[in-house]
């Protein structure tokens, strides 16, 4: 097989050349570059080796990467520096540093690591910077207005009902992994609510999209901690690079299929109106405008988005719209199963709202779920869906006497910061009371940023919170969640996940 072939001499020569180039870059950066000279020497961090930096000790798989980044914070503090080959980065997990970095309207450029996503997501909203990012954000923001989000409640409820029905067969049975079920639910929601297409993933357990996405995430994480794969031409020639190319081709094919299906639907009498917020069905009733419809309408109104432009945004929202939410939902349900007192308190609140009714959840109901919101926030504190995000500074930032200069890559970590005992005493304990109005008062406003903050905050955070509340409220009204005491092993697969899934048992609530 390809992995076991003896490399040819020209392959070894190419590898040696790459090592020499990386070494030369590192020598230049360390001894001559202003960012390294003025930032690195003032901060602690893990030991770096010539050419490789700390890449040899961070690990090659998503589990080791997550563990290393967290362990280094325990050893070196909540702000530390590290090297990825010749590239310097500073990890920040302190709200005093977080605030000026996230609030900046200048330092909004994503780091070089996000370029590793571009073969898949191109330069959509997640990966773009500068004028393109501002333009796309302006186009897309209206799709997440609260009045538009209200129109998604039917989709949240109907897809939640499918999950509730499927889980009937789990009642009284052995423990089962909820992560797989939740992922299919969130995929159905994002396809229906944002793309206007019903895919029925929940009735297709062998979902090709999810399997392909997980394999792709592994290749991207592996590349991001392997400086010898940073050069594009080297990565493309490697076995992992060729594997990634095939995976991306498959994902793009699926996205184009969704776009073409929606275009056909619209051509078959489903007119896009010019209001920007609604369209009409065959009997003239108003319907909310799906995210994809809005992009297609933008072109109808004279916009200049190409099919590729639309595809990159569809890929971005297919990924961000389901994977982050499935992580947040799964960890929250698992936390409730492992914390029966909190679960009972959440159920009592829901009983006050719904009584014995099986009716759908409304937007008015969501506003009454005060304790459940605290539960969700506490789960996102312990298990933020995006544990790390990276920026490359365009201008100097001086904080607490430390000058982090332009050109530095900064990694901001909610996963580490949310467990700082200075802001969250006994940080490993699941305690929703941390987020009551009384307990939030006086806490640093940037000590808790599960959806990031500032200009590049998560555009879909309200959508996600509504979706999470609807599903959890339906689950708790129907089932009692039973913990099984399995402690998860965390894995950084772009999104926070576990290696073995999240297991619970179910009992009927009524």
H or E element in which residue 176 lies:
strand 176-177
What angle (nearest 5°) sits at the alpha carbon of residue 336, between those of residues 172 and 204? 60
Tens of pLDDT, residue by residue over 371-419, are: 999 999 999 999 999 999 888 888 888 888 888 888 888 999 999 999 9
Tens of pLDDT, residue by residue over 104-163, are: 888 888 877 788 888 888 888 888 888 888 888 888 887 777 777 888 899 999 999 999
What is the reported pLDDT for 299? 75
> Does the residue 75 lie in any domain?
yes
- Binding residue numbers for heme: 458
The first and second tokens of residue 467, run together, are 């979706």
Tens of pLDDT, residue by residue over 294-311, are: 888 777 777 788 888 888
Answer with the residue of higher pLDDT: 65 or 379. Answer: 379
- Give me Rg for the CA atoms of the chain: 24
Q: Above 70 in pLDDT, residue 494?
A: yes
> Does the residue 1 lie in any domain?
no
> Does the residue 119 lie in any domain?
yes
| Mean pLDDT calculated for residue range 265-290 | 49
Of the chain, the percentage scoring pLDDT greater than 70 comes to: 87
Q: Which long-range contacts (CB under 8 A, 24 or more apart) does 294-302 make?
A: 294/140, 294/142, 294/143, 295/139, 296/262, 296/263, 296/266, 296/272, 297/272, 298/139, 300/272, 301/274
> Does the residue 422 lie in any domain?
yes
> Does the residue 129 lie in any domain?
yes
What is the reported pLDDT for 282? 42
> Does the residue 2 lie in any domain?
no
What is the reported pLDDT for 100? 93
> Does the residue 37 lie in any domain?
yes
> Does the residue 136 lie in any domain?
yes
What is the reported pLDDT for 278? 41
| Domains contained in the chain, number | 1
Q: Above 90 in pLDDT, residue 76?
A: yes
What is the reported pLDDT for 421? 95
Task: Specify the residue for token string 């700082």.
Answer: 420
Q: Above 80 in pLDDT, residue 34?
A: no
What is the reported pLDDT for 387? 94
What is the reported pLDDT for 351? 97
Helices (H), 4-61: 9-31, 34-39, 55-58
Lowest mean pLDDT among 37-51, 215-229, 236-250, 269-283: 269-283
Q: Above 80 in pLDDT, residue 22?
A: no
Tally the C-alpha atoms within 13 A of residue 180's C-alpha that lie toward its C-beta.
16
What pTM value is reported for the model? 0.86
pLDDT band at 259 (very low <50, low <70, confident <90, very high): confident
- Binding residue numbers: 458
Q: Above 70 in pLDDT, residue 236?
A: yes
Of the chain, the percentage scoring pLDDT greater than 90 comes to: 44
Answer with the residue of higher pLDDT: 30 or 122. Answer: 122
Q: What's the CATH number where 306 sits?
A: 1.10.630.10
- Which residue segment(s) compose the domain that 147 sits in? 7-508
How far apart CA 370 and CA 352 sit, in angstroms, is 12
What is the reported pLDDT for 262? 81
């Amino acid at each position: 097989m390809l992995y076991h072939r003896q490399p040819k001499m020209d392959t070894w020569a190419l590898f040696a050349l790459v090592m020499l180039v990386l070494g030369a870059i590192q020598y230049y950066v360390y001894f001559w570059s202003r960012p390294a000279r003025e930032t690195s020497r003032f901060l602690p961090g893990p030991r770096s080796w010539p050419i490789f930096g700390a890449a040899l000790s961070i690990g090659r798989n998503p589990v080791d990467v997550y563990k290393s980044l967290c362990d280094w914070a325990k050893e070196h503090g909540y702000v530390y520096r590290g090297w990825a080959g010749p590239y310097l980065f500073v990890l920040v997990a302190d709200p005093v540093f977080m605030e000026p970095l996230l609030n900046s309207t200048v330092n909004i450029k994503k780091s070089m690591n996000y370029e590793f996503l571009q073969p898949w997501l191109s330069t959509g909203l997640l990966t773009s910077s500068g004028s393109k990012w501002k333009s796309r954000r302006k186009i897309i923001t209206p799709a997440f207005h609260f009045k538009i989000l209200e129109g998604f409640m039917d989709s949240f409820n109907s897809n939640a009902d499918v999950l509730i029905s499927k889980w009937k067969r789990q009642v009284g049975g052995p423990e089962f992994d909820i992560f797989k079920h939740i992922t299919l639910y969130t995929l159905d929601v994002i396809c229906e609510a944002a793309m206007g297409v019903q895919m029925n993933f929940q009735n297709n357990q062998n979902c090709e999209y999810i399997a392909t996405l997980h394999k792709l995430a592994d290749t991207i994480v592996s590349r991001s901690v392997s400086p010898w794969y940073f050069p594009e031409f080297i990565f493309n020639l490697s076995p992992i690079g060729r594997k990634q190319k095939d995976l991306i081709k498959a994902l793009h094919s699926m996205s184009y299929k969704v776009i073409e299906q929606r275009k056909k639907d619209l051509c078959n009498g489903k007119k896009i109106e010019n209001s920007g917020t609604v369209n009409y069905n065959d009997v003239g009733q108003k319907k909310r405008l799906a995210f994809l419809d809005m992009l297609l309408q933008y072109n109808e109104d004279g916009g200049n988005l190409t099919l590729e432009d639309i595809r990159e945004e569809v890929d971005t929202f297919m990924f961000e719209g389901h994977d982050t939410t499935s992580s947040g939902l799964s960890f929250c349900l698992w936390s409730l199963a492992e914390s029966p007192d909190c679960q009972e308190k959440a159920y009592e609140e829901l009983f006050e709202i719904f009584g014995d009714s099986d009716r759908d959840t409304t937007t008015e109901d969501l506003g009454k779920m005060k304790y459940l919101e605290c539960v969700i926030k506490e789960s996102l504190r312990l298990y933020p869906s995006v544990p790390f995000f990276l920026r490359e500074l365009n201008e100097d930032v001086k904080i607490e006497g430390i000058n982090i200069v332009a050109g530095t890559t900064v990694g901001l970590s909610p996963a580490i910061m949310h467990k700082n005992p200075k802001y969250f005493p006994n940080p490993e304990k699941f305690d929703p009371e941390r987020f009551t109005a009384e307990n939030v008062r006086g806490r640093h406003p940037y000590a808790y940023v599960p959806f990031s903050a500032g200009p590049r905050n998560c555009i879909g955070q309200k959508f996600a919170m509504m979706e999470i509340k609807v599903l959890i409220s339906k689950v708790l009204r129907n089932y009692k969640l039973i913990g099984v005491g399995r402690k998860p092993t965390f894995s950084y697969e772009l999104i926070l996940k576990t290696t073995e899934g999240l297991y619970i048992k179910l009992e009927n609530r009524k």
